[in-house]
Amino acid sequence: MAIQNIGISKDIVFQAIVDSFKKLNPLVMIKNPVMFVVEVGTLITFILAIKPDIFGISTAGHGYNAAVFFILLFTVLFANFAEALAEGRGKAQADTLRKTKSETMAKVLQKDGTYQERPSTSLRKGDIVRVDIGELIPSDGEIIEGLASIDESAITGESAPVIKEAGGDFSSVTGGTKVVSDYIIVKILTDPGESFLDRMISLVEGASRQKTPNEIALTTLLAVLTLIFLFVIMTLVPLANYLKVNLDVATLIALLVCLIPTTIGGLLSAIGIAGMNRVTQFNVLAMSGKAVEAAGDIDTMILDKTGTITFGNRMASDFLPIVGISDEEAAMAALKASVKDDTPEGRSVVELANKKGIRWNEKDYKDAEIVEFTAETRMSGLNLKDGTAIRKGAVEAIKSYVAAHDGSIPADLDEKAKGIARAGGTPLAVAINNKIYGVIYLKDTVKPGLKERFAELRAMGIKTVMCTGDNPLTAATIAKEAGVDEFIAEAKPEDKIAAIKKEQAEGKLVAMTGDGTNDAPALAQADVGLAMNSGTMAAKEAANMIDLDSDPTKLLSVIEIGKQLLITRGALTTFSISNDIAKYFAIIPALFITVIPQLQTLNVMGLTSPKSAILSALIFNAIIIPLLIPIAMKGAKYRAMNANKLLSRNLLIYGAGGVLVPFIGIKLIDMIVSALHLA
């Protein structure tokens, strides 16, 4: 079973509520300095609610202190709930993955050459096991003998089996997958608890999640801001005494909580966890939150051509007749040469001919002799019962074939073939008996939609570089059609590393995809390396992300998720800090309006009373956290644009919104508090 998109079920919500109370443990809360300060304030107001004069300076009664206590308690619980909800979804995904683990028996090779059955949990690195048809592969390893179809749906969700064999880039196998044909001999490469599935479960449920550098930096900034406002509140006490204003402890705590960035402090961890969850929903396993975050800062993407930008199969693009032959005759000749060709190339010729309106009768070719393609002849075709010989293949091979049968070579054949080659395609000549009819234009087709995706990346300021072993002419043609910014032709593995290092030397972050052992050094060098699950163990070990679907273009989606993570964190931080402006106008006048009547001009919201103003600001501060949980979980809306436009947009929406929303919210709450006579 693949990593699933787990929704927010009732069970997850209930467990998150329970975990919200468990997280009140001070040893847990101290990891979040902002919310730890709120928790300390909650404890103090709880004491004041029981005995208001315990500190000798409080003048508020039981009711006011109790109200502040409950509001602060809910503030802490809401912050814990946001984190617990994000963790709960990850744990639900992990529970789903655990169902794929079972006590599998493994046939382990003994010194005498026999096989002995042992539990898979007892396997160690270096053990040799045999897996026959219908059996589960007991642990991660590498095929050292045999070839088999492997059902990897337990990991990827993809029902179609994949072929794995000893040697090459497709020899690694994953524990929990199933052999559906033949048998394989596997060398175990992991010890118990270190398998791919074990790591996947640990990462999905967040057990291994570490704070990213940006998250640590932001946490430090929030802690510094909290400390600054703590000193500000402390200086208010002597100022109030000088003005002969009695500031009770509960009010000072309420003021501190409203001024420190509690909103982003309560949501910061949930944003990071939810970002990891969004990656797993795309069937990508991120080895760390740092990798996801780095994806959001990528400046350059280096991509293979074959299988990533193009399908990797040459497809028929056009039929070019030679002089004296009509388009229909050339298309019919190509069709006849391909009706029994089951390769992707042959099927594409038939499809193109059908699109051009050329039809054929299968009965005419029922008893035809199929001439298979060989490296020696470099052509294929049919021999019909009436003696007609139909051939298609490399231009030079067809020319030799026709000449051997006393046919003539058209004067414009070489010119048409060279034109196709210059355009980055592959020419195949077609002949019937001793007559050449034309040339099939084959080209490696660019995947649909990629040009638009690359345009989006360009709008975000990300440069795309295509690496290919093709000659410069072919590479230039594909690069233009795909819409990449640059290309590296006739590229060798070391050229990829050189390209990555060159970009990094200019201060840029680089991402790339790969699946082979020869890609491992480049994957390790890149800031974001996405390895294919179908690739070698070396590639997967070198990368910091693994695509379970083995789709090289998935890197584009990963970058979008990384950017969405950064945008969400920045947007909610902007909103949180902007909130403080409205709170200043609500609380500061309320504290000193009795001794400084001129402060009434700052009471722009027209709040009812000092206590009502303080409670209203405090209540708004509490309820804004759960209201923002959906944004933290789903991420802020993502649009492809450059950094300056994105900054301006977020400042407008979340900055201006962060100023206006509290004014409206606090006023509405004040009206309710006054109507209920709570203050």
Active site (catalytic) residues: 304
Give yes or no for a contact between 122 and 110, defined as CB atoms under 8 angstroms apart: no
Q: Backbone phi, then psi, for 327, in 5-degree steps?
A: -60, -40
- Structural element, H or E, at residue 316: strand 310-321
Q: How would you classify the pairing of strands 510-514 and 300-304?
A: parallel
Between the alpha carbon of residue 394 and those of residues 338, 435, 439, 553, the distances in Å are 14, 15, 10, 32
Query: Does 158 belong to an annotated binding site?
Result: no
Give yes or no for a contact between 259 and 228, defined as CB atoms under 8 angstroms apart: no
End-to-end CA distance of the chain: 56
Separation of alpha carbons 236 and 234, rounded Å: 5
Query: Does 380 belong to an annotated binding site?
Result: yes
Q: Backbone phi, then psi, for 9, in 5-degree steps?
A: -90, 170
Burial 635-646 (b: 16+ CB within 10 A, else e): bbeeebeeeeeb
Give yes or no for a contact between 356 and 331, defined as CB atoms under 8 angstroms apart: yes
Q: Residue 348 contacts by C-beta under 8 Å, 6 or more apart in sequence? A: 313, 314, 315, 316, 442
SS3 for 485? coil
For residue 488, give the amino acid letter.
I
Query: Does 156 belong to an annotated binding site?
Result: no
Residues listed for the chain = 679
Separation of alpha carbons 214 and 290, rounded Å: 9
Using the 8-state DSSP alphabet, how is residue 137 labeled?
Answer: P
Query: Does 392 belong to an annotated binding site?
Result: yes
The answer to whether the Cα torsion of 323, 328, 332, 335 is positive or negative is: positive
Q: Show the tokens assigned to 456.
A: 């989006």
Tell me how many degrees the CA angle 508-209-294 measures, rounded to the nearest 5. Answer: 10
Separation of alpha carbons 401 and 431, rounded Å: 9
Query: Does 671 belong to an annotated binding site?
Result: no
Separation of alpha carbons 507 and 9, rounded Å: 44
Q: Backbone phi, then psi, for 413, in 5-degree steps?
A: -65, -50
Query: Does 11 belong to an annotated binding site?
Result: no
Separation of alpha carbons 649 and 654, rounded Å: 8
Sheet of strand 486-488, all strands in order from the earlier edge strand to the far edge = 284-286, 545-547, 528-532, 510-514, 300-304, 463-467, 486-488
Burial 549-572 (b: 16+ CB within 10 A, else e): bbbbbbbbbbbbbbbbbbbbbbbb
Using the 8-state DSSP alphabet, how is residue 599 labeled?
Answer: G
Using the 8-state DSSP alphabet, how is residue 306 labeled?
Answer: B
Query: Does 377 belong to an annotated binding site?
Result: yes
Tell me how many degrees the CA angle 301-307-311 measures, rounded to the nearest 5. Answer: 120
Query: Does 374 belong to an annotated binding site?
Result: yes
Query: Does 534 belong to an annotated binding site?
Result: no
Query: Does 519 belong to an annotated binding site?
Result: yes
**Which of 362, 21, 475, 36 shows the shortest CA–CA distance to 227?**
36
Q: Backbone phi, then psi, for 383, in 5-degree steps?
A: -115, 110
SS3 for 243? coil
Query: Does 379 belong to an annotated binding site?
Result: yes
Separation of alpha carbons 220 and 662, rounded Å: 25
Separation of alpha carbons 557 and 554, rounded Å: 5
Query: Does 95 belong to an annotated binding site?
Result: no
Q: Is 324 left (phi over 0), alpha (psi -120 to 50) or beta?
A: left
Separation of alpha carbons 555 and 282, rounded Å: 10
Q: How would you classify the pairing of strands 141-151 and 115-119?
A: unpaired
**Which of 172, 144, 152, 149 shows the shortest CA–CA distance to 515?**
172
Q: Which residues are annotated as a binding site for ATP?
A: 341, 345, 373-380, 392
Q: Give the residue numbers of the binding site.
A: 341, 345, 373-380, 392, 515, 519
Residue list, annotated binding site for Mg(2+)? 515, 519
